[in-house]
Structure 1
Amino acid sequence: MASGSAIRGSRVGAGPMGEAERGDSAPRFWVSYWCANGHETKPSFSQEANAEAPETWDCPRCGFPAGQDKANPPSRTRNEPYKTHLAYVKERRSDEDGQAILDEALAALRARRGS
């Protein structure tokens, strides 16, 4: 005997209802962006937001920045290598400054020890 379902293989809320269920979609405009690898990206923006499209957009394919000028895309960003704490200290202080700080710290340590 068949089950009591009048419509087999469907459920309440299944399938797209279109504009009647979700309401009207906002008017949109599309802007083309090109990255240094020549990939084109076309994100859409709402016309009602009264906002201008950003100058750059991250390429979803390669991750490089993309611009609106196809002939002159923005250059690739250069990633700085990871710096240690010591590298940052050496940028701020010279070897002579470091030696003076070390001598001062050793003198204070020796004074505490009483030697």
Structure 2
Amino acid sequence: MAGGNAIRGSRVGAGPMGEAERGEVAPRVFFSYYCANGHTTRPSFAQEPGLVVPETWDCPRCGLPAGQDEANPPNAPRVEPYKTHLAYVKERRSDVDGAQILDEALGALRDRGLIK
């Protein structure tokens, strides 16, 4: 039985795989992105013909969108407040519609004898 502290599948002297075993690394190109909080992000992309670089990149520090123009970073997205079901209903229906629907519902309950 193997020792309790041995790492399974490894051997003494085993190191990380080098480029010789993985192949050559593709040439990289770096682009700077700036967020509204002043953070700078420099993701790398494989340099290839027809490379399309995204206009915005999510800042890994704060999560805000970051753009390539340092002087004019993208604004933070507008956060919509939580709306209740009633708020959505009130957007779709007027008070007159609501009163009419309530009268119909109460009439149906009266016809069934559930309320007086």
- Identify the TM-score tier after normalising by the shorter chain: 0.7 to 0.9
> 1:29 deviation in Å?
1.4
Q: Percent identity?
A: 74
1 CA distance for matches of 2:26 and 2:13? 23
2:3 maps to what in 1? none
Gaps of 5+ in 1: 1-9
Describe the SS at the equivalent of 1:29: strand
Structure 1 residue runs of 4 or more that deviate by more than 3 Å after TM superposition: 48-51
2:34 maps to what in 1? 34
2:87 maps to what in 1? 87
| TM-score using structure 2 length | 0.80
Q: Deviations 1:14-42 (Å, cap 9, x if unpaired)?
A: 32231111112222211100001111001
Residues matched between the structures, number: 106
> 1:13 deviation in Å?
7.6
What does 1:27-66 align with in structure 2 at a 5 Å threshold? 27-48=27-48, 50-66=50-66
What does 1:15-34 align with in structure 2 at a 5 Å threshold? 15-34=15-34
2 CA distance for matches of 1:97 and 1:49? 60
In structure 1, give the amino acid aligned to 2:57: W
Instruction: Tell me the C-alpha RMSD between the 2 structures.
Output: 2.1
In structure 2, give the amino acid aligned to 1:71: A
Describe the SS at the equivalent of 1:113: coil
2 CA distance for matches of 1:71 and 1:101? 54
| TM-score using structure 1 length | 0.80
